[in-house]
Structure 1
């Protein structure tokens, strides 16, 4: 069976965009072969570029209009040649449009609130415990309700005193690691936990138990034990004598003896760095004098973290202590307090986008779009799909026939459009092979339903961006036309000028009078930093010692002592050269430049005359490109009929 329902969805989106894109014809500024160009588009481009253009090359509105018409003629020709159908063009344009569209699917108010919230949470570390009952992320409503009721019953029993929180964690929590500690997770800070869990830990009063919290792992009860001012970050060095996990008492005693011998040498003012390099079994940090990168809480094992943060004076150090890795001595290098909000903002914004809470902004946009477009869903009809599916679907082996006749009931409505059960089945079959499957058909249906709804709603909104947001339309059109302009200019002007060797040389020959040298001087400019050396340089130059030899000798001591420049200089292109024009031989300038003594050695003068092609190749290519563009534009003006709406343009000029 074909995916005709999905095709209908896509056609609906496309049709909606096409209908919304119709404009008021009274706003037409000009037409090119009856295709309209609107005044608001011209105004947007004019206002965007006016200030820059006025500074560099002032243009009247009439002149700018002529340039804009020429621009549109070039784009018209690019389309006529099919340049907008190439795969490279489509990929580049679609990529750029997608990047432009991203901000329209973000709720900046939500983002700013998340940044502010994260910074406030940075000020405190929280100690909490939890009880977790597992539930798959895409569980269906019945499974979700079952686990929710179980954890609510557990919460009620704890509050009623039938069982303590810690006992319940040990007995029921599926997080086996924390369960052994009665659910205690120790201290943590912002971004250490998934966002819903973090919020429960920070928002629940000390000593109390939260309501059930849903994360991708299941449902949680969170008990908050205490808060403290945030530790921030610390930078330390350490020396470690390792102890294998299964070491006997003799090996432990040997390691302990060695660490205390090192400790006594540190107390005798031997270099901590040198001892770390010599003795530490942590070879990675040992090569760097024991230094570790700055770290915050929950990066190192608890014993190491507590000892590191207990130090307050730089260069102070701990007594030897043991962790699961061996014995350590830690020396404080620097403590880093919590940064200011402005200092932390960029890092917080990046972390929020990487963290699960970054989706809250997108979810807020999704909910807004649902409200704006009268979204409604039908859970009973969605659950019926799970009963219709066969277990073979979970193995990527289901291939039903004629389901569109049986599955006709609505699953959701949006913006006046109703989607049926068969539409969701189409979507699921389309993704059947690539998708990781849930444990049950019900979970699989609801997972795909939410993805289908989000995909459609965001696609629908994406198709309307140009109509809803003029500034977006202007940017998209500008970039679309910009790509085409580059492609057509490369084909008709820039590339042609470079590849057309015969035409280029013929153009140079016909315009030789434009490429002429003025009178030139062949000379060497020498600049000397110190006065004492300048006297020696002058003496050596008078003795005809080469500039290279002189510079090599003095620059051994100071590489910046002498600099020099050789070349052919046209009159009027270099002030130092102009100061000695007409003279010959060695000339010492009366005034210094940038506090350096200047000598100009004049070798010869060359009379005015024609430049060779190679001497002016770059300029000739540019001029030839301008010539080709001028001829090409004359051709385009004849090929296409441009009709200006003078009345509209006159009204625009009054606004400018």
Structure 2
């Protein structure tokens, strides 16, 4: 089934990309369109390690893969998939992200990273009072709000109880109950201007008035503390659902009892944890800090552990029941270790506006920018109905369509801004003033077009960027063309899928399985008792009740069907019906009661549908690629190929 991300698909398809080179030796033509040797050389050297088939690691072997890739790209363009709305959106989003790496003001970004790191070392506890004020309010309304918050600040400075003032006067929803209290926060938890003012204010102090998109604030800082260090824990999880909550709690308590009796945490996690990603490693999780997991009960229980090896009581979260063991209290990451993550967070936060503004100015300076006075015309041309988001745009007269601004060799005109105003009016936040709305949308339009010009020039001027962006462009097209011609057909053509399954049933046999019960204990003599009880006719549930108590779990029992590679079965398990011998594995012992052995059988289509669809997709793809080889004429320049083979040594 198609479960791979776009980036995974690109990787599987060898992430073959192209530079926009215009010159060089022609390696081949596809319907007379040249493909250059330089392009092949770049992707060959880059992707050779990804090739699994040794026969395809030679230049000629890899050339076959390269040709198939180029044929798929050619077909994507032939089907005009590059015009699909989803493709245009996804590519534009990636292009925006990639170009940031070439656009940003490095020094300014570095300063913001250092600031965020230093702030993130501590947490601030604060309360605030908010007087709401629309961010584009009329001057008289702004003045009223400002004077109100100033008066409240003066009262707080004179000694009035800040939280009482907040309860009675703050316009933040819920302020009456919370009395303005925000709890502890750190970098990136609050809007940037608010965060900045809070960090500038000493403990016990009242901040200056700060303006945000919500209105005017004053802040009282009541505490500053070092941020909690990241910790590493291991856990055993038993997942829950509506019909298994009771059984999950019972099982986690059984496991907890075994831990108290000295059984290995790692072995129990490997055998019984439903978090398979961590269970395979004995339950160990990646380091995290408080608030990162979005699972407060788990985090509180984890941070309550003080000593390495200490184990929590069973704790319930929305995922299930957990037992947590503290492995390590880690050091706070250094600046160097945090730098990449902080840079990404800055680029996804409102701090980006600071960088964007600086970058916009930098691009204007590099390519030359000339702007013209547009506002008087548009204040008359655009009616007040734009504030209600229903302004009707009529074409400008030819004599009114004047230059709006010029960046490099590109000039934009009034009609382009008018169309932008019309399209964007329904997508912006509410405005009170027409002038503010027009200015804001003009700023958006200018920034967008300046960046577009820069990206166009960047692809022309920077080979590295051109190569990466073309690689992603073609990778997305490959994804689209494969979905259209392979994946969707395999899923939707149920008749052919059934025929494919009928013709290859032998490929979908089940493994041999056993039906029975697995008994585990840290004491060999307990399993000796289990053996005797089984021989006397007791069933697993009766044995569990006889040997276990609320205070002491002596044996853990799992019943059902088991593949022979199930990790609960002891190593070197000898499969036969009846009661097995007692196996020793590390510090634990196992015994298996085999009721019967289920032989391999052909699974029904519904049981293996995902696998059948995947195999069917491979068949469809082979047929489709063969049709492309018939549709397109590929001619390889043998002289250039020979030269490449000599140069690349294969």
Q: Deviations over 1:100-151 (max 9, x none)?
A: 33333322232103334677899999xxxxxxxxxx99xxxxxxxxxxxxxx
Q: Is it true that 1:23 corresponds to 2:17 in the alignment?
A: no
The counterpart of 1:369, out of the listed 343, 363, 373, is 363
**Structure 2 Cα separation of the partners of residues 44 and 345 of structure 1:** 30
* Residues 643-654 of structure 1: pairs in structure 2 closer than 5 A: 643-653=635-645, 654=647
Q: Contact between 2:511 and 2:563, CA under 8 Å: does it hold in 1?
A: no
If the length of structure 1 is used for normalisation, what is the TM-score? 0.54
Q: What is the match of residue 532 of structure 2?
A: 539
Q: Is it true that 1:530 corresponds to 2:529 in the alignment?
A: no
**Structure 2 Cα separation of the partners of residues 604 and 179 of structure 1:** 82
Change (3 A) 1:526 1:451: closer
**Structure 2 Cα separation of the partners of residues 388 and 243 of structure 1:** 45
The counterpart of 2:455, out of the listed 454, 458, 462, is 462
**Structure 1 Cα separation of the partners of residues 224 and 433 of structure 2:** 51
Q: What is the match of residue 88 of structure 1?
A: 86
Q: Contact between 1:41 and 1:474, CA under 8 Å: does it hold in 2?
A: no
Alpha-carbon offset, residue 617 of structure 1 = 5.0
Q: What is the match of residue 103 of structure 1?
A: 101
The counterpart of 1:507, out of the listed 490, 494, 500, is 500
Change (3 A) 1:429 1:58: closer
The counterpart of 1:626, out of the listed 618, 621, 624, is 618
Rg larger in 1 or in 2? Answer: 1
Alpha-carbon offset, residue 630 of structure 1 = 2.1
The counterpart of 2:421, out of the listed 419, 431, 450, is 431
**Structure 1 Cα separation of the partners of residues 513 and 74 of structure 2:** 48
Q: Contact between 2:513 and 2:561, CA under 8 Å: does it hold in 1?
A: no
**Structure 2 Cα separation of the partners of residues 600 and 563 of structure 1:** 10
Change (3 A) 1:390 1:492: closer
**Structure 2 Cα separation of the partners of residues 176 and 588 of structure 1:** 85
Alpha-carbon offset, residue 598 of structure 1 = 1.8
SS of corresponding position for 1:305: coil
Alpha-carbon offset, residue 636 of structure 1 = 1.9
* Residues 355-394 of structure 1: pairs in structure 2 closer than 5 A: 358-376=352-370, 382=372, 391=380
SS of corresponding position for 2:204: helix
Structure 1 unaligned runs (5+)?
1-20, 126-135, 138-171, 187-237, 247-280, 308-329
SS of corresponding position for 2:24: helix
Q: Contact between 1:521 and 1:569, CA under 8 Å: does it hold in 2?
A: yes
Q: What is the match of residue 636 of structure 1?
A: 628
* Residues 62-211 of structure 1: pairs in structure 2 closer than 5 A: 62-116=60-114, 176=147
**Structure 2 Cα separation of the partners of residues 355 and 606 of structure 1:** 57
SS of corresponding position for 1:600: strand
Change (3 A) 1:466 1:121: same
The counterpart of 2:204, out of the listed 279, 285, 305, is 305
**Structure 2 Cα separation of the partners of residues 333 and 393 of structure 1:** 51
Change (3 A) 1:570 1:466: same
**Structure 2 Cα separation of the partners of residues 243 and 117 of structure 1:** 30
Change (3 A) 1:92 1:525: same
- Higher mean alpha-carbon deviation, 592-601 vs 349-358, is at 349-358
Change (3 A) 1:364 1:528: same
- Higher mean alpha-carbon deviation, 341-350 vs 84-93, is at 341-350
Q: Contact between 2:407 and 2:453, CA under 8 Å: does it hold in 1?
A: no
Q: Contact between 1:554 and 1:562, CA under 8 Å: does it hold in 2?
A: no
**Structure 2 Cα separation of the partners of residues 588 and 54 of structure 1:** 43
**Structure 2 Cα separation of the partners of residues 55 and 499 of structure 1:** 31
* Residues 310-321 of structure 1: pairs in structure 2 closer than 5 A: none
Change (3 A) 1:182 1:283: closer
- Higher mean alpha-carbon deviation, 348-357 vs 509-518, is at 348-357
SS of corresponding position for 2:585: coil
Alpha-carbon offset, residue 173 of structure 1 = 14
**Structure 1 Cα separation of the partners of residues 85 and 196 of structure 2:** 50
Q: Contact between 1:31 and 1:644, CA under 8 Å: does it hold in 2?
A: yes
**Structure 1 Cα separation of the partners of residues 510 and 629 of structure 2:** 37
Q: Contact between 2:513 and 2:562, CA under 8 Å: does it hold in 1?
A: yes
Q: What is the match of residue 312 of structure 2?
A: none
Change (3 A) 1:596 1:427: same
Count how many residue pairs are aligned between Structure 1 and Structure 2.
470
Q: What is the match of residue 476 of structure 2?
A: 483
Q: Deviations over 1:366-397 (max 9, x none)?
A: 233233324355xxxx45x6676775657469
Q: Contact between 1:32 and 1:643, CA under 8 Å: does it hold in 2?
A: yes
**Structure 2 Cα separation of the partners of residues 111 and 389 of structure 1:** 36
Q: What is the match of residue 275 of structure 2?
A: none
**Structure 1 Cα separation of the partners of residues 516 and 152 of structure 2:** 85
Change (3 A) 1:492 1:416: closer
Q: Deviations over 1:149-182 (max 9, x none)?
A: xxxxxxxxxxxxxxxxxxxxxxx99965798899
Q: Contact between 2:104 and 2:359, CA under 8 Å: does it hold in 1?
A: yes
RMSD: 5.9
